[in-house]
Structure 1
């Protein structure tokens, strides 16, 4: 499946159609093509914004991944142990050796 854009707004604007005896109303065709051109311009702006946003998000993801690699990781159990040890020390300081 080909997902490339085939026409630019300028190409649509400059497209000439042959006329025939029972051809289409030229003004109607021109108005319709003008609407298509406006849509193309909007689509191009949206695509550009989304590409820029995508690039920015990829950069942020890369930075986050690098930070996670650099940060020392503590085992989950050691954090709980540290909290329990601090709590025990606090109890001793408040209540002494009565416990």
Structure 2
């Protein structure tokens, strides 16, 4: 929804005057209904504003994260992964080496 296409605001709805006719609508009933419309309209406008602010915040966060990632070296080393890989190699190959040594002694 583009805010440029919004034609009314709560104040304009409240101040709208309708001509009366002999067999027209009950003015009190119309006024009560328009009061509800105004309240809903205000809630929608507040929600649109909140969502626009959140959208801007998320865009900024995304841009900041992109800048942070692009400023890091292209081949950043993850030492935790390398340490785990080294431990895994020791566990697998160290055991095989120990099994081979025991088999040769027999």
Q: TM-score range by the shorter chain?
A: 0.7 to 0.9
How does the TM-score come out when normalised to structure 1? Answer: 0.74
State the Cα deviation string for residues 34-55 of structure 1 (Å, max 9, x = none): 0000001101110110000000
State the Cα deviation string for residues 39-93 of structure 1 (Å, max 9, x = none): 01101110110000000000000001101111113289xx8xx5588449968xx
SS at match of 1:29: helix
Larger Rg: 2
User: 1:42 matched to which residue of 2?
Assistant: 43
User: 2:104 matched to which residue of 1?
Assistant: none
Query: Superposed, which structure 2 residues align to 1:18-97 within 5 Å?
Result: 18-74=19-75, 82-83=82-83, 86-87=86-87
> In structure 2, do the counterparts of structure 1 residues 17 and 62 end up closer, same or farther at CA, with 3 Å as the change threshold?
same
Q: Can you give the 5+ residue segments of structure 2 that lack an aligned partner in the other structure?
A: 102-106
How does the TM-score come out when normalised to structure 2? Answer: 0.70
User: Would you say how many aligned residue pairs link Structure 1 and Structure 2?
Assistant: 92
Q: Can you give the 5+ residue segments of structure 1 that lack an aligned partner in the other structure?
A: none
